[in-house]
Amino acid sequence: MSTFKAYKKRLREAARDPKISLALSRAIGSYRHNVNEALEKFPQTQRLADEVKQIKEESISHMEILVEQACETIRQNKGEAFVAKTPHEALDIIDEIVGTGKLIVKGKSLTGEEIDLREHLQEQGNEVYETDLGEYIIQLLGIKPMHLLAPAIHVPKEDVAKLLSQVTGEEVPPDIKTEVAKVREILRDKFFRADVGMSGANVVAADTGTLFQIENEGNIRLCSTAPPVYIALIGMEKVVSTLEEAFKVAEVTWRYAGYSVPSYVNLVSSPSKTGDIEKTTTYGAHGPKEMYVIFLDAGRSKLAKDPLFREALYCLRCGACLYECPLFAATAGNFGDKYFGGIGAIWTAFVTGDLTKAAPLTYSCLTCGRCKVRCPVGIDAPQMCLELRRHIAEGE
Amino acid sequence: MPKREQRLVPEGILLVRNNIRTKGNIFGVSSKAKWAKGLGLSSRGETLFFAGCGYQFLEGAEATLSAVRALDRKGLSWEKTLGVTKFLNRVGINLGDLYGRLTSYSHPFGEPLRCSVEVLQKTGMEFGYLSEEEPCCAGPLYYAGFHREFATRAAVTYQTFKERGVKRIIGIVPSCTYTLRELFPRFLKEWNIEVRNFMEVVLESIKGGMRFRLPQRVRVTYHDPCILSRYLCLTVEPIEIFRCVEGVELVEVEHTKGEWSTCCGGGGGFEVIFPEVSHILAINRVKELLKTGASVIVTACPGCLIQLREGLNGLKAKGVEVMDIAQLLQRALPE
């Protein structure tokens, strides 16, 4: 079956699935409520979003220099830093650090998803646990995430209960509180036994080498502190010049993700250290002794130089646009290939370099333009989809 | 950026492109001006009424689309049937035409078009209609990615207008209006024709004293077509019009209106690529609109009109009808 046909079939089946549309309509309803409340409570967000747009324009225009600077700072902070040109290079670097037979706890990461990180680590003979609740469910189900922030957005509590009962061998009732407590119990011990912790980052400050991670569950915090080794895989586009800018980007990201305030914002700049004995800096106090940061290029530096498409790199991955997309409301992450929605079509084209995958997505965009109205940095995904169509139909 | 691959353009889109290239309209029919019979429209004028492709083939398009959807639902490759259409075309049988002849007995052609002309005539404005000579705006070529072909056709279209001394155009189809108003100037530096949408003209007349009044009170909700609300920023105009039509009780949909309106599922050529999914999106939109308790869903786009009607049929909703704003206004014309 051709890629297009297979995609069409997948889309049709998803659109027919009442579970998806029910889960999504609930999610969209609560998102709109939450985001309106958050924006009302923090009316400065709109102004901040305008500033963030400028910050992104500026940082993407010299992305490679900023990434170099961030690497340098992280090294000065006694971490290791790398730039991986391709997914293959990134995986090689990770293999070198991790090796085989290790227990790994992972925070949810789209960049990890982009290079099939979990699958790769498992193939290398490691035991890998996704620790974001939704992502853990996805891993157990052996399926693909359906939303950036809520990967199991389409799975009802009854299905979760069944799944957890299978895993634990005991009867777990379809009660959300019990389910959450059960997952906590299962994963708790993994965090502390793990050899390696991994995660992504929402934004990185080049001047201080600080990685920002926005989260609610506390799992990323554990991944980046409990194990002796910590690895972060981050898209190059996440780097901005200063700590001050990074705070602005972070606040706008969580606000448009629908949160007034997230439970945690982790700021990680170096391995754990102490100078408490004779003022001698020693690494690996309570947190990890080793910290590795890998910046992934995979098409990003090319994208940054493309005047028509570079805007795609401004994306904060707040996920707000997806709640506004009528096609996403009916089919969830099936309208996408790792990256979702209209903006996902552009990302797919550049990071996979495979138009066979990107074409069905770009021709699926309704070009209705509501995502652009919602986007904090005003990304015109429909216009980029039209440009991508031109590229497919006519070439450069 | 990876290398271009034209084979990745979906077949449904290629069919539309072929129709524009061979017949000068998106449906591939031979005649497109029958709807205007008996309206006494001049074929010349500094101001032109631009009928576009959508409305006069509404019934045909609706029937074709539901046939295609039936095939698509069964997982049959409905694009294959297009091959048959092409073959018949080659031997001189045009299905679009045939269908047009059949339906003309049961349906009045292009009712929204006739209504909009009647309304415009009542405003006292003078305008012409190019009838069979009206060029296709070819907007769908642009949306499909064929910008060079679009640009070539745009240049020819501009010549046609220039030779006839056209200074102003009134568009009724949102997509044609947008194409002529926003895309043409992008591709043609010399473009100097003023393009307005039907609703803008109507609102101006209302402000100049024109009155509308419906024979009885009706609960109306409005569905903003994406091109009007988000591309042409005409969100206030329809609401102002409704407020000035006596007998209209406007019940607006919550949140999903104006720039936040939900697409009917027929945007960007989506309906010819993913017919069944498009139908599901239409149903979703109709559900939102029905929550208002309106008995009439008014919109202002032939694509939305088909989608919403089909969505309503899909829900088997009774006692609600979908109509174009031109139809509503025609019914509210002063005697």
Q: Express each pLDDT in A284-340 by its tens digit.
A: 999 999 999 999 999 999 999 999 999 999 999 999 999 999 999 999 999 998 899
In-domain check, residue A55: no
CATH of the structural domain B210-331, one choice from 3.40.50.1860, 1.10.260.40, 1.10.4160.10, 3.10.20.600 = 3.40.50.1860
What is the structure's pLDDT at B107?
46
Question: Which residues of chain B does A32 touch, with a Cβ-Cβ cutoff of 8 Å?
Answer: 255
Q: What is the mean pLDDT of residues A46-62?
A: 98
Same domain? A38 vs A123: no
Whether A379 and A311 have beta carbons less than 8 Å apart is answered as yes
B5 vs A: CB within 8 A: yes
A172, A66: one domain: yes
Determine the residue among A1, A301, A363, A372 to mutate to test chain B binding: the one whose Cβ has the most chain B Cβ atoms within 10 Å. Answer: A363
Mutate which of A7, A20, A367, A371 to disrupt the B interface (most B C-beta within 10 Å)?
A: A367
A10 touches chain B (CB under 8 A): no
Residue A263 lies in a domain: yes
Residue B203 pLDDT:
97
CA-nearest residue to A304 within chain B is: B1
Same domain, A312 and A296: no
Predicted confidence (pLDDT) per residue in B116-162, tens digit: 999 999 999 999 999 999 999 999 999 999 999 999 999 999 999 99
Binary contact (A393, B144; C-beta < 8 A):
yes
Q: Is the pLDDT of residue A215 over 70?
A: yes
Q: Which of A282, A300, A318 is the last residue of a domain?
A: A300
Rg over alpha carbons for chain A, rounded to the nearest Å, is 21
Using the Cβ of B147 and the Cβ atoms of chain A, whether some distance falls under 8 Å is answered with yes
Same-domain check for residues A318 and A343: yes
Q: Is A356's Cβ below 8 Å from some Cβ in B?
A: yes
Size of interface A-B (CB pairs under 8 A): 137
Chain B residues touching A21 at Cβ < 8 A: 284
For residue A329, is it within any domain? Answer: yes
Minimum mean pLDDT among A11-20, A143-152, B147-156: which range? A143-152
Pick from A84, A85, A81, A61: nearest CA to A73: A81
A296 and A311 share one domain: no
pLDDT digits (tens, 9 = 90+) for B293-310: 999 999 999 999 999 999
Domain formed by B9-62+107-201, architecture: Up-down Bundle (1.20)
Compute how many other C-beta atoms are within 10 angstroms of the C-beta atom of residue A225: 16
Asked if the structure places residue A256 within a domain, the reply is yes
CA distance A302 to chain B (A): 8
| Pair A283, A332 in one domain | no
Both A113 and A220 in a single domain?
yes
Residue A211, chain B, CB below 8 Å: the answer is: no
Strands (DSSP E) found in A246-309? 264-268, 273-274, 282-283, 290-296
What does the pLDDT look like over B150-199, one tens digit per residue? Answer: 999 999 999 999 999 999 999 999 999 999 999 999 999 999 999 999 99
Tell whether B231 lies on the interface with A, counting CB pairs under 8 A: yes
Determine the Cα–Cα distance for residues A148 and A154; give it in Å rounded to an integer: 12
Residues A205 and A188 in one domain: yes
Cα–Cα distance between B129 and B47 in angstroms, integer? 9
Sheet of B168-171, strand order: B47-50, B168-171, B194-197
Q: What is the pLDDT of residue B56?
A: 78
Question: Does residue A52 fall inside a structural domain?
Answer: no
Cβ partners under 8 Å of residue A256, min gap 6: A35, A45, A49, A316, A318, A320, A374, A376
- Tell me which chain B residues have a C-beta less than 8 angstroms from the C-beta of A359: 5, 8-9
CB-based contact A369 B230, cutoff 8 Å: yes
Interface of B with A in 282-301 (CB under 8 A): 284-285
Query: What is the DSSP code string of B272-327?
Result: HHSHHHHHHHHHHHHHHHHTTT-SEEEES-HHHHHHHHHHHHHHT--S-EEEEHHH
With bands split at pLDDT 50, 70 and 90, how would you rate the model's confidence at B15? confident
| Cα atoms in the 13 Å half-sphere on the side-chain side of A169 | 0
Ramachandran region of residue A227, left (φ > 0), alpha (ψ -120 to 50) or beta? Answer: beta
Confidence of residue B20 (pLDDT cuts 50, 70, 90): confident
* Distance between B220 CA and the closest CA of chain A, angstroms: 23
pLDDT confidence bin for A149, thresholds 50/70/90: low
- Same-domain status, A168 and A69: yes
Interface of B with A in 69-88 (CB under 8 A): 72, 75
- Report if residue A56 sits inside a domain: no
SS3 B220: strand
Would an 8 Å CB–CB cutoff place B13 in contact with chain A?
A: yes
Nearest CA of chain A to the CA of B145: how many Å?
4
Q: Residue B268's pLDDT is what?
A: 76
A353/B2 Cβ within 8 A: yes
| End residue of a domain, out of A300, A317, A344 | A300
Q: Is A28 touching B (CB cutoff 8 A)?
A: no
Residue B134, token pair as written in the block: 């009206």
Number of domains observed in the structure of chain A: 2
* Whether residues A295 and A158 fall in one domain: yes
Which residues 286-325 on chain A approach chain B with CB closer than 8 angstroms? 302, 306, 309, 324
Q: Is the pLDDT of residue B62 over 70?
A: no
Chain B within 8 Å of A395 (Cβ-Cβ)?
Answer: yes
Work out the average pLDDT over B69-80.
66
| Cα–Cα distance, A144 to A139 (Å, whole number) | 8
Paired with A292 in beta bridges are: A80, A231
Per-domain boundaries in chain B: 9-62+107-201, 210-331
Q: Is the pLDDT of residue B264 over 60?
A: yes
Report residue B19's pLDDT band, with 50, 70 and 90 as the boundaries. Answer: confident
A282-283 and A273-274 as β-strands: parallel, antiparallel, unpaired? Answer: antiparallel
Q: What is the mean pLDDT of residues A94-122?
A: 97
Domain containing A317: what range? 3-45+307-394
Which residues in chain A have their CB less than 8 angstroms from residue B10's CB?
A: 4, 360, 363
CATH number reported for the structural domain that contains residue A85 in this entry: 3.40.50.10420
Residues of chain A found within 8 Å of residue B144, distances taken between Cβ atoms: 389, 393
State pLDDT tens for residues A232-242: 999 999 999 99
Tokens 């607006």 belong to residue: B252
> Which residue of A lies nearest to B149 if distances are taken between CA atoms?
A394
Please tell me whether residues A274 and A363 are part of one structural domain.
no
A93 lies in the same domain as A116: yes
Residue B188 corresponds to which tokens in the numbers above?
């043609």
End residue of a domain, out of A274, A300, A326: A300
A258: closest CA of chain B, how far (Å): 17
What is the pLDDT of chain A when averaged over all its residues? 95
The reply to whether residue B276 touches residue A15, judged by beta carbons under 8 angstroms, is yes
